Amino acid sequence: MRLVVVGNGMAGSRLVSEVRARDPHLTITVFGAEEGHPYNRVLLSNVLAGKARAEQLRLHELSWYGANRVEAVSGSAVAWIDRETRAVHTTDGRREPYDLLVLATGSEAFVPRIPGVERAIPFRTLDDCDRILKAAEHSRRAVVVGGGLLGIEAARGLAGRGLPVTLLHLADHLMERQLDPEAGLVLGETLTGLGVDIRTGVVAEAVEEDGVRLAGGELADGDLVVLACGVRPLTGLAAEAGLEVRRGIVVDDEMRTDDPSIFAIGECAEHDGNVYGLVAPAWEQAAVAADVITGGKSRYRGSRLVTRLKASSVELAAMGETQLTDEHAEVVRFSHRAKGTYRKLVIRDGRLVGAILLGDSDAVGTLTQLFDRGGPVPGDRAGLLFPGLAAAPVAESPVLMPDAAKVCQCNNVTKGQIRACWEAGARNVAGVAAATRATTGCGTCRDAVEGIVGWLCEQEGISA
């Protein structure tokens, strides 16, 4: 059987590795529109901030494909799908037949239709990142348009390089999809203290040589303009092939489209009315599709989203229904604006349905587990927000975490799986990552993994 995958980004490359791990014989061809290695798009902000090099973002070395008998075609975009003969056709004239096809086309940066927008640089791909960094070397001030997750990471990264930055956002507070107004205000004040000038509730009307012209005539000064205005799913290929498309390519619980021989996963897919823009759902969908493709019976039931901001000196985690008020749920909150701290729990029917943790907090792990597993919330609400105040003694080591505790959200890795692979011989974080993929998504679980591995090694008197 011949499997063809369109898209070799974070969803497509994971699908290929998941399929190959289950079936060593299936013929696999994967097409990637970008040149070179597939890479971890989530960590682009680390490159922009100077915390990582481009080569550190690779998901697979090119040698992996040869070793695993996968044909990877880079820099070759698929132009159309012939469903009658079951073949894809590329822009450079190649025809590739398939028995099963997976669309992992991802999404593209949304670029507003305003005068002069061609002067700005979108922040979406590794090439975009390279262009921004080269431009920053000769710029006196940057303007970032968009105060969502990516825009904040871009603004903080550039500010960390010593470049003055103005961040423009249409909504009245930052990250309005994940945060309530007070959390957005505290986040803005934190970023201001780190050298980012925040302007919310403003409309960008034009990009000019010396900045961004706002509605009302004011100019946001800057000779480097970066766009982080959101993304939209790449669905044109599917729509032209006659597949059902709404916001994304519509799929069922097996990740199949309305053509049983065609699947869709990741940011281009719409499941049960939801289009997810985070890596963890894409990888969960890839695992389900790979299982179905190789004869399994897995089903995708949707994802519980945990958003982590990866910006130096800013700690933020948001999950679930953060916008609910006291009228609709039990809301527990603590705010200390002078310290950049905001913590909020949203509880309904005795279960944690949402949370915001802004500022350094040791409650993130516990609350993420409660949210992910849907378990009952303990009666001591203050103890959840401030674990050090809880009556129960704090565990002296990470090994005392329950085995079922999820350590890596992106890859669904539990503490028990980390312990098991340590016992099988993985004596450092690199070994655990190779065996479980923990730390290879957004990277925010690295400290927790290091703690577990370090404690286990200490008990045995060996070096991690």
Nearest 5°: CA angle at 453, between 448 and 457? 150
For residues 128 and 210, membership in a common domain is answered with yes
Question: Mean of the pLDDT values across residues 425-439?
Answer: 80
CATH (domain of 157)? 3.50.50.60
Mean per-residue pLDDT of the chain: 90
For residues 281 and 414, membership in a common domain is answered with no
- 8 Å CB contact between 243 and 259: yes
What pLDDT, on the 0 to 100 scale, is given for residue 390?
46
Q: Is 90 helix (H, G, I), strand (E, B) or coil?
A: strand
For residues 13 and 75, membership in a common domain is answered with yes
- Give the single-character DSSP code of 442: S
Residue of 207 and 445 predicted with greater confidence:
207
- 8 Å CB contact between 123 and 228: yes
Question: Mean of the pLDDT values across residues 436-440?
Answer: 82
What pLDDT, on the 0 to 100 scale, is given for residue 392?
39
For residues 268 and 224, membership in a common domain is answered with no
What pLDDT, on the 0 to 100 scale, is given for residue 393?
38
What pLDDT, on the 0 to 100 scale, is given for residue 394?
37
In a domain, residue 19? The reply is yes
In a domain, residue 36? The reply is yes
Based on C-alpha coordinates, what's the Rg of the chain? 23
- 8 Å CB contact between 265 and 104: yes
In a domain, residue 377? The reply is yes
Residue of 249 and 374 predicted with greater confidence:
249
In a domain, residue 146? The reply is yes
Q: Using pLDDT thresholds of 50, 70 and 90, give the confidence band for residue 135.
A: very high
pLDDT in tens, 204-229: 999 999 999 999 999 999 999 999 99
Question: Mean of the pLDDT values across residues 361-375?
Answer: 85
Give the pair of three-digit tokens for residue 77: 């975009």
pLDDT in tens, 14-38: 999 999 999 999 999 999 998 888 8
Q: Using pLDDT thresholds of 50, 70 and 90, give the confidence band for residue 397.
A: low
What pLDDT, on the 0 to 100 scale, is given for residue 459?
67
What pLDDT, on the 0 to 100 scale, is given for residue 407?
81
Domain count of the chain? 4
For residues 51 and 184, membership in a common domain is answered with no
Nearest to 28 by CA among 104, 92, 83: 104
For residues 127 and 222, membership in a common domain is answered with yes
CATH (domain of 446)? 1.10.10.1100
Type of residue found at 23: D
Other Cβ atoms within 10 Å of 230 Cβ, number: 17
Share of the chain above pLDDT 70, in %: 95
In a domain, residue 299? The reply is no
For residues 402 and 384, membership in a common domain is answered with no
In a domain, residue 304? The reply is no
CATH (domain of 345)? 3.30.390.30
Distance from the first to the final alpha carbon of the chain: 43
Q: Using pLDDT thresholds of 50, 70 and 90, give the confidence band for residue 461.
A: low
In a domain, residue 239? The reply is yes
Contacts 24+ apart (CB under 8 A), 209-217: 209/119, 211/143, 212/143, 212/145, 212/168, 214/168
Task: Say if residue 201 is exposed, middle or buried (CB neighbours under 10 Å; 0-12, 13-18, 19+).
Answer: exposed
Question: Mean of the pLDDT values across residues 368-385?
Answer: 86
In a domain, residue 306? The reply is no
**Residue appearing with tokens 């509605």:** 215
For residues 219 and 248, membership in a common domain is answered with no
pLDDT in tens, 309-352: 877 788 999 999 999 889 999 999 999 999 999 999 999 999 99
Q: Using pLDDT thresholds of 50, 70 and 90, give the confidence band for residue 415.
A: confident
What pLDDT, on the 0 to 100 scale, is given for residue 395?
41
Is residue 42 over pLDDT 80? yes
Residue that finishes a domain, picked among 264, 293, 322: 293
For residues 102 and 243, membership in a common domain is answered with yes
Residue that finishes a domain, picked among 394, 421, 437: 394
pLDDT in tens, 245-280: 999 999 999 999 999 999 999 999 999 999 998 899
Residue that finishes a domain, picked among 348, 366, 394: 394
For residues 221 and 121, membership in a common domain is answered with yes
What residues make up the domain containing 457?
Answer: 397-464
For residues 80 and 179, membership in a common domain is answered with no
What pLDDT, on the 0 to 100 scale, is given for residue 405?
73
For residues 189 and 268, membership in a common domain is answered with no
What pLDDT, on the 0 to 100 scale, is given for residue 311?
79
Q: 4-13, 59-68, 89-98, 115-124 — which is least confidently predicted?
A: 59-68
